[in-house]
Structure formats: structure tokens, C-alpha cells
Structure 1
Amino acid sequence: MDTTLAPPAPSSKPAAAAPVVAAPPATLLFVDDEPAILSALRRLLRPLGHRVLLAESGAEALEILEKEPVDLVMSDMRMPQMDGAQLLQIVRQRWPDAMRLLLTGYADISSTIAAINQGEIHRYISKPWDDQELLLSLREALDRHRLAHENRILQKVTAEQYDQLQTANAKLDEMNRQLEGNNAQLEKRVASRTAELSQVNDMLGAAYQQLQTNFMLSIKVFAGLLELREGSLPGFSEKVGSLSQRLALKLGLSESQRTDCYAAGLLCEIGKIGLPDRMLRKAFSAMDDEERKRYCRHPLMAEAALMPLNDLRSVSRLVRQHQERVDGRGYPDGLSGDDVPIQAQLIGLAATYEGLMAGRLAEKRYTPEEAQEAIIKASGSHYSPALVDAFKKVMADAVAQEPPMREVKVNELAPGMVMGRDLISPRGTLLLSKGYMFDAAVIRTLNELVRREGLNVSFFVRTDMPKSASTAVAA
């Protein structure tokens, strides 16, 4: 039980990543006191067309930065006089727009964490590096640099438009003061202007709400990127986010906390984007020791990916902590008791519950009932009893809201029957959606498929037989 739900935290080793597509040309500065490493980096980057600058010390790097506009600085951690953490902290203070990466060995992990906190390092790369993973990290950093630049331009344009609007409002206010004391016709014009201002304010409020909606939509798109990978499960992140939000509501958390829980649930898998497809296809219990060590670093990788986004700082912290356990046997930091925030616990619970049913943690897929029993048994070890009580209530609410249904085999299907639950393939693909109404043609196709493939498939159909239902099919 303990191994299935959340194993103790191990270390990881770098492995090969997917091929990297070249980013647009940029100016890169590499800092290392070993000329051989600088030469290797220059050779690696030469085919991509980037402008590469090299420095053998922190002081030499600062001299280059004084003279040259640089998009990205990557420094080795261990250097004499000025180490990589000190250099990148100065870069953050004097050239904050430059992306900052740290090249470090596993033994420097404590110094790396301090560097991330002090120099706001966007990412660290372990030595020895894998060429493709290094190129991928550089491309991602340059993409962020470009997006940040575009965002600054957009903010400048927005600020200018806001100033123009403020100027227009000031002019309207002056007109209102001049119209005071005039006849009824002038008062009518004042009222008209006031109505215009109210409309503008309403538009600004609607625009702000739209920005918030678009921000959450961007998070969903970001979370959905991982589900495009082979071995990923469509809709898994949304299920974890939705259950996290319901648990937060049942625990009486504030609206902002519920929003953070939902966002963290959507993004809790994002650290796996650097894992190879073969690991995504494996259940945790089927991995070897090296694979488990690498897998258990995904909360750290997720936090590093989300940290540069100011609006997601609290969310990134929850994602880092969602695999911690109240008994102290979680990862990556081994927190225990009240040091594990209830928001992080509920995200971990939601991810474990959905992961058990999806076959991600064990080689067999748990039924909803088996998954619920596993969660309940973890009360006091993995999760606080109050959270498990809230989970049981949420599950009871879900059962109460389900329509009456019965389980049938394919040869029992009849036209007009309606699906009461989603039908998911063994690989996690949605085959038939809840609310789908069967017709004769689809029933014939399903009978042929089951007979040809030798499948043992059950369908949960509604017994209240609603008159209207969706006929949408997802394949």
C-alpha cells in the first residue's frame, strides 16, 4: 500500500530526451573555468546559428555583459573567486531580462537551491549533461525570453491606453464641472456623459474578467501539452484539477485557495514533460530503481518550470509539495505533519486516486471502489484524517448525483439505451462519452469489434431512459 501510493523520495540521473528544434538566433553567454567545456558548448550550438560568447570567469562574464546585449547566460556552479550562483545573482540585479541557467553537479544540490532562491535561476542542468536535453532546455529558456519581451511590449501598450483613458476621463470630469449650474439641457448632457463613463467602467470590468478567464485557459492549454505525449492519458489533468477543487470546497477553503488548488491539479503532471515516452507508458510499480529515481524528481522539475511566472508562485509551491506525506515518507523534501499544507495534500490525493484508476501507479487498473478504499487506508499516513473524511463526502455526493444505471454486455445493448458513464479504453482513451445514445449501426460495430478482438467490455447504461441525449462520440 505505501509503495503504491507514494514511495520515498530518491535521486535522479539525466537521460536522453526527444530531438530539439532550433530556436530563432539569439546571443548566448557561457561561463566556465574549464576551456574544454566552453569549446564543447560552442561546437554543440554552432549548427543552430546562435551567437555564442564565452567567458572563463565571473569577472570576464560581467565585462562582456557591460558591452554586449545578451539573451541568455549559462554558468557553471563551481568556479574560483566568483561561483555561478554569485554571478547569476548579479546578472539578475543588473540585467534582469537575461535568462539565467545554472550548470551544476548533483553534489551541489544545496547550493543550487540557494542559487534558485537568490538569483531566480530559471532552470538548472545537471552535469554531465545530455546534448539533446541541454538544447531543449536552452530552447525553452529562449522561448520564455521571447514571450517575456512580447509581454513587456503588450504591458507598455496597455499602460499607454490606460493613460489615454485616464486623460479622457479627466477631460470628461472637467466638462461635468463646467456644466454644473447650467440649464436642464446641459444637465441632460452631463447625465449622458456620466452614462458613457459607466459604460467604459463596465467594459474595463468585463475586460479584466476576460483576462482572468484567458489566464485559466492558458493554464489548461499548458497542462494539456503533456497529454499530447505518447503514453499520456487524455483528460487526466482536468480530472485531477476538478477533484482538487471539489475537495477544497468541501474543506471550506477560500475562493483564491480553491482556484490555486484547481490550477495546481491541472499542472501537477507538468514536470513529467522531460521524461521519455517509455516511462510515461509504465506504471510506477513496474519501473526499475533508476527510473523511479528520475520519476520522483518531477515535482522539482515542475516547480522550476513554473517559478518564473509570478502569478503561479503559490501554485508552483503546491505542485512541488503534492507528493509529500504527513508521515514524512513523501518526496521531494520529506515534509511531515502540519508542514505539509492541506492544499498540497488534497492535490496529491486527487492525483493518486485518478492515477490508481488509470493504471499509472500499479500494473492493474483499480476500480473506483478499490481506489477509494486505498485512499481511506492511507488516512493518517499519507493524508490527514480531515482530508480523507472530506474525500469520502465528495465521493458520496458524486454517487448521489449519478443517474440510476445498470451494467450490460455488448450483446445486451439495444437502440435508445443511453451511456451513464464514460467508456474508457485500457490505454485511457475515451471511447464513448456519458450521455451517448446507442443506435443500431453503432451496436453492430461494437459487436464486431468485441468479437474480433476478444474484448471483455461492460457498458453502464441509464435506466431512467431520458428522451434526449447527446450522440457525440469520442474515438
Structure 2
Amino acid sequence: MNDAQRRPTLLLVDDEEHILNALRRVLRGEPYDVLTASSGNEALALLAASDVDLVVSDARMPGLDGPSLLAEVQRRWPEALRILLTGATDLDTSIRAINQGQIYRYLGKPWNDDELRFTLRQALAHQHAEREHQRLERLTLEQNRRLQELNASLEQRVLDRTAELQQTADMLDLAYEELRHSYVTATEVFSSLLAQRLPGDKQGNAQVIALVRAFAVEHQLPETDRRDLAMAAALYNLGKLTWDDHLLNRPSDLLHREERERYCRYPAQGESLLMALEPLHDAGRLIRHHQERWNGTGFPDHLHGEEIPFGARLLKLAVDFVELQCGLILQRPLPREDALQFLARYAGRLYDPELCQQFIDLCTRHAPDLLEADPSILAVDTRRLEPGMILARNLQADSGMLLLNAGKQLSRALIDKLTAFETSEGARYTLHVRQPAAGTDLAKEQPR
């Protein structure tokens, strides 16, 4: 049974039987296999005999304590995630667990049942994503090794199977491209999944991403800043993931006091959910501060003026502009022009005045769909595709699965595959493409 099929195995370690019983009750009904141990040495024996995905250990135990146990787990079974459960306020214990055991997180006693369940789900989801990433890397390296062997020993056969090898080379190229942009792509796919919680007229993540990207290109922001902005734009509402549908659909100016308090916590919660992913730390910082206001009345940290990161100031403009039109800020959705007037009216209070004007200028010059403003971009169905055309935006299946990245040059084989995929899915897709530059020799053009 592979990792995707088997149930995750959790090991709970505590020297107090009633604590273990309480943890088992919390996890009753969860899709996990649960093992328990009443000491550090018993836990090590179970780890040696079983495939354990996550260890939750009490900090203070006789003999081998929690930090020492988790340090040993990290040394011998580094793929097993580690969570420290402590009822003590001993800072040294927590620091030792973090430094030696490299723990994923620590939780206090008494714990919140919902928080514990959510933390375990989040930890295992992160572990699954990392394992899948490693699997793709191994698969790509293995395919590359096999191609090298074929090139060295079966050159004549390779020449006879040019079409098949070209298809394999395209797939390898796509695999490498996905690896290089894995985090950016993953955030956009996850963003589309988040959007499914909302009605179609309130799904604004894609528009927010398009706005910040257009601004970044026009103002020639560094590539690193563009990537962080794109990821932050995709996941800015990650902290709302645990909200019920009623709260997700409610305009922010109609929230009651308790709802408002929860709303004000979502940017910081979004950052916290990304802390375990080092490449997303800078994007998480932008998410944390995208509801700060120029006059210092925003949240969560009440930053003022240029204390607010530039990317967070830009993200707030894009988010507010889109959510004003979706009816997620005011009770009445605003038309596009009214939303721009709203931004201008609150420049210097809610928004960086100079940046606000630049943003309004961008939106004024371009159509609502920024791609429609570019005459070089065509919207075509698969029957009108031609070899050499280049994708101008990501192509996703109706299920939300990413099919092709923006920037991919289409070949005849790839067009045929898209047509066959449409037929098998019973769907019709519209692709936004650019024609190849004049004078390009498509016969010599190599896949990107």
C-alpha cells in the first residue's frame, strides 16, 4: 500500500494514562491509526516496529523526557513529524525541543480539541505535500537517468522513435518547470480550491492575482517580489479556511462584534499557517499586514504609513478593489468605477496615497480582465489552436487541476492531447494564447 492509500499512523506518548485516554477520545472518528506509549523508551520500541507518521509527546516524563525523545526521533526517523505537548511554562524545555527535536509545533495543556485536530490535519497535509514533492523529484531523476541510458546504448532505436521521445521530453520539461515553480503553482491551485467555498460572483482570488502581477510587470518589480506577491495574492484569505459559509459570504461592514473580532484575526492566522513552509515566509508577512491601514487603524499590528511592507500595501488595494465589487466589504456590491472612486476617496487614510494613484491609473487604463487589454492575446478553443502558440495564462481543468503553465509553447502532440482530454472529460476549454513572434522558425523551436 502506498502513502496515498494508507491511513496515517499517530503515536501518542504520555506517562499519564488519563491523558492518553483523553487524546484517544479527541481523535475518535479521525482517519488515523493511533498507537500509544506511556514512556519514551516504549515509544522508541514502537517506532522501531511500526511506520509512524507523527509523534505527539508530553514534555515532562520520567526517564526519557519529551524533548529528548523527539530529538532521538528526529535523528532516527526524520520523516516522522514531531509535536510537543506541554502543560509547563518552562521556556527552556520548549527551546530544547525546538532546537534538538526540530519539532513541527508545540501545544499547551489543557489543549483545545478543535485546535489539536486542526493542527494534526495541517501537519499531515504538509507532510503529504513534502513527500509528493520528493516523489516527483525522484521520478524526474529516474526518467532522466533512463533517457541517458537510451541515448548511450540505443541511439538507433531512439532515432526510430523520435515522436515518442519528443513526447517524453515534453513531459520532462513540464516536470522540471513544475519543480522550479512548485510553490507558486501550488498556491494558485490551492487558491482555486479556497475559492470553491464561495459563490461564483464572490470568487475574487484570480482577479487579485492578475492585478498584482500586472502592477509588478508595469513597475518592473524584482522577480523575487513578483513571486512573493503572487503567492500572497493567492493565499491572502487562507486564514478564513475554518469559517463557516455564512461568515465567508457576509460583507465585513455587517459583521457583529464577535464576528468582527474573528475577522480581524484572519491575516495573522494566514501567516501562521504558512510558517512551516520556509519559501512562503515572505509571502506570509505580506498576508499578515495586508489589512493594515495607512493611518494606523488597521490590523493586526496597527502599522502606520511606510511601516507597512510595500507588497502588503499593494495587496490591500487589489483585495479591496476586487472585494468591493464582489460585495464582501459593503452590503451593496460596487460597480468597477465606483470601486475606483472608493479607493481614491480613502487615499491617505486607508491606502498609501502615491501607490493608490498608481494602482487606479493601472485599472483605468486596462479592461476589467487585464488579459483582454492586450491585443496580442487571443481567447481560442482547442479546435483553433496551432503549433507554436504560447499560453498567456495557466490552464486548469474544471476540477481545479492545473493542466499547463503559462508560458508553455504548444506543439501538435500537445494540442492533440488537449483535444482528447476534452473529449474524455466532456468539457470545453478556452485558452488564452499569444502567437509566436514573427520570423520564429517553429521547426527549430525547442520546448521551453
TM-score by length of 1: 0.60
Q: Which amino acid aligns with 1:72?
A: L
**Aligned: 1:149 with 2:131:** yes
Higher RCO by CA contacts (8 Å cutoff, separation 6 or greater): 1
Please show how residues 9-408 of structure 1 align to structure 2 within 5 Å.
Answer: 24-31=6-13, 35-48=17-30, 50-54=32-36, 65=47, 69-75=51-57, 91-92=73-74, 95-101=77-83, 122=104, 131=113, 134-166=116-148, 203=170, 205=173, 207-209=175-177, 218-229=186-197, 233-309=201-277, 311-398=279-366
Separation of aligned partners in 1, 2:137 and 2:20: 37
Cα deviation digits, residues 165-205 of structure 1 (max 9, x gap)? 45566779xx9xxxxxxxxxxxxx9xx99x99x97997555
Contact in 2 for aligned 1:232/1:280 (Cα 8 Å)? no
Q: Does the C-alpha gap of structure 1 residues 225 and 34 become closer, same or farther in structure 2, counting only changes over 3 Å?
A: farther
Following TM superposition, by how much is the alpha carbon of 1:351 offset from its aligned partner in structure 2, in angstroms? 1.0
Q: Which amino acid aligns with 2:206?
A: E
Aligned length: 363
Q: Does the C-alpha gap of structure 1 residues 96 and 338 become closer, same or farther in structure 2, counting only changes over 3 Å?
A: farther
Q: Which amino acid aligns with 1:244?
A: V
Consecutive unaligned residues of structure 1, counting only runs of 5 or more, are 1-22, 176-188, 404-471
Contact in 2 for aligned 1:231/1:280 (Cα 8 Å)? no
Following TM superposition, by how much is the alpha carbon of 1:97 offset from its aligned partner in structure 2, in angstroms? 1.4
Q: Which amino acid aligns with 1:371?
A: A
2:412 corresponds to which residue?
A: none
Contact in 2 for aligned 1:28/1:73 (Cα 8 Å)? yes
Q: Does the C-alpha gap of structure 1 residues 386 and 63 become closer, same or farther in structure 2, counting only changes over 3 Å?
A: farther
Following TM superposition, by how much is the alpha carbon of 1:352 offset from its aligned partner in structure 2, in angstroms? 1.7
SS at match of 1:96: coil
Separation of aligned partners in 1, 2:68 and 2:306: 34
Cα deviation digits, residues 375-417 of structure 1 (max 9, x gap)? 23443444433321221211221269999xxxxxxxxxxxxxx
Deviates most, 337-346 or 133-142: 133-142
Contact in 2 for aligned 1:100/1:123 (Cα 8 Å)? yes
1:458 corresponds to which residue?
A: none
Cα deviation digits, residues 418-469 of structure 1 (max 9, x gap)? xxxxxxxxxxxxxxxxxxxxxxxxxxxxxxxxxxxxxxxxxxxxxxxxxxxx
Cα deviation digits, residues 181-231 of structure 1 (max 9, x gap)? xxxxxxxx9xx99x99x9799755565346567865543331122222256
Contact in 1 for aligned 2:202/2:326 (Cα 8 Å)? no
Separation of aligned partners in 2, 1:247 and 1:126: 43
SS at match of 1:258: helix
Contact in 1 for aligned 2:71/2:100 (Cα 8 Å)? yes
Q: Which amino acid aligns with 1:316?
A: G
Contact in 2 for aligned 1:356/1:371 (Cα 8 Å)? yes
Q: Which amino acid aligns with 1:270?
A: L
Separation of aligned partners in 1, 2:34 and 2:71: 21
Contact in 1 for aligned 2:81/2:123 (Cα 8 Å)? yes
Following TM superposition, by how much is the alpha carbon of 1:238 offset from its aligned partner in structure 2, in angstroms? 0.6
Deviates most, 249-258 or 76-85: 76-85
1:460 corresponds to which residue?
A: none
SS at match of 1:296: helix
Contact in 2 for aligned 1:26/1:50 (Cα 8 Å)? yes
Separation of aligned partners in 1, 2:136 and 2:187: 19
Larger gyration radius, structure 1 or structure 2: 1
Following TM superposition, by how much is the alpha carbon of 1:98 offset from its aligned partner in structure 2, in angstroms? 1.8
SS at match of 2:334: coil
Following TM superposition, by how much is the alpha carbon of 1:128 offset from its aligned partner in structure 2, in angstroms? 5.8
SS at match of 1:274: coil
Separation of aligned partners in 1, 2:307 and 2:286: 12
1:456 corresponds to which residue?
A: none
Separation of aligned partners in 2, 1:169 and 1:75: 52
Contact in 1 for aligned 2:140/2:176 (Cα 8 Å)? no
Deviates most, 328-337 or 37-46: 328-337
Q: Which amino acid aligns with 1:163?
A: R
Consecutive unaligned residues of structure 2, counting only runs of 5 or more, are 373-429, 431-448
Contact in 1 for aligned 2:178/2:185 (Cα 8 Å)? no
Cα deviation digits, residues 72-131 of structure 1 (max 9, x gap)? 1234678899997887677556533123445579x999x999988997665666776554
SS at match of 1:365: coil
Q: Which amino acid aligns with 1:318?
A: L
CA RMSD of aligned residues (A): 4.7
Contact in 1 for aligned 2:83/2:103 (Cα 8 Å)? yes
Cα deviation digits, residues 19-43 of structure 1 (max 9, x gap)? xxxx953321234576433211112
Following TM superposition, by how much is the alpha carbon of 1:279 offset from its aligned partner in structure 2, in angstroms? 1.5
